Amino acid sequence: EAGVAQSPRYKIIEKRQSVAFWCNPISGHATLYWYQQILGQGPKLLIQFQNNGVVDDSQLPKDRFSAERLKGVDSTLKIQPAKLEDSAVYLCASRPSRGAHIQYFGAGTRLSVL
């Protein structure tokens, strides 16, 4: 079974530029999460999707961050415009069903904003 795929693995941009990250969850997983992990900290949940609907985006900085999950499969997370403090690893995770709590994570995208 293929795991959660994320791309790119690394991205370097300058502040005020835009960037997008892509995630392909494990096949059949209805729930998808995006996390931000700043160096030295634990992951922070940004947004949770159930199929193609948003369940929780309370910690998503909506003035610059946006996310979508068209057709309930792949998802993209966008930052526009980026700030220095957005430098972090962006992790995508998926979960098979409401009854199963275990999340499966991708390898993440490491973003450096200069």
Partner 1 sequence: AQKITQTQPGMFVQEKEAVTLDCTYDTSDPSYGLFWYKQPSSGEMIFLIYQGSYDQQNATEGRYSLNFQKARKSANLVISASQLGDSAMYFCAMPGRYIFGTGTRLKVLA
Report the distance separating Cα 3 and Cα 24, nearest Å: 9
For partner 1, the binding residues in 2-31 under the rule CB under 8 A are none
> 51's torsion region: left (phi>0), alpha (psi -120 to 50) or beta?
left
Q: Which of 47, 86, 84 is nearest to 68 (CA)?
A: 47
* 34 is an interface residue for partner 1 by CB under 8 A: no
In the bound state with partner 1, the residue whose beta carbon lies nearer, of 14 and 85, is 85
Q: How far is the CB of 16 from partner 1 (least distance, A)?
A: 26
Footprint of partner 1 (CB under 8 A): 33, 35, 40-45, 48, 56, 89, 91, 93, 101-108, 110
